[in-house]
Amino acid sequence: MAKHNCSQCKIRAKYDKNPKSFLGRLWRWHIGFCPGWKAYFNSLSEEEREGLRIKYNIKK
């Protein structure tokens, strides 16, 4: 399986720096359907997933 670079994504960093920026909003919209993000997210431990759910307001 290919390794996911979601933790080092430059567009994700833009969201973290300024969530209201165009690229930040685009990234947030994109993770709603991105198969790579979903695979990355599911590869994390439950604690890490919960942290991301809180940080990015992701519903279960």
Report pLDDT digits (tens) over 3-43.
778 999 999 999 999 999 999 999 999 999 999 999 999 99
pLDDT at position 2 over 70? no
* pLDDT digits 0-9 by tens, 39-56: 999 999 999 999 999 999
pTM of the model: 0.85
| Phi (first) and psi of residue 33, to 5 degrees | -135, 0
| Helix orientation angle between 35-43 and 46-56, rounded to the nearest 10 degrees | 130
Cα–Cα distance, 17 to 44 (Å, whole number): 22
Outline where DSSP puts E strands in the chain. none
Domain boundaries along the sequence of the chain: 13-56
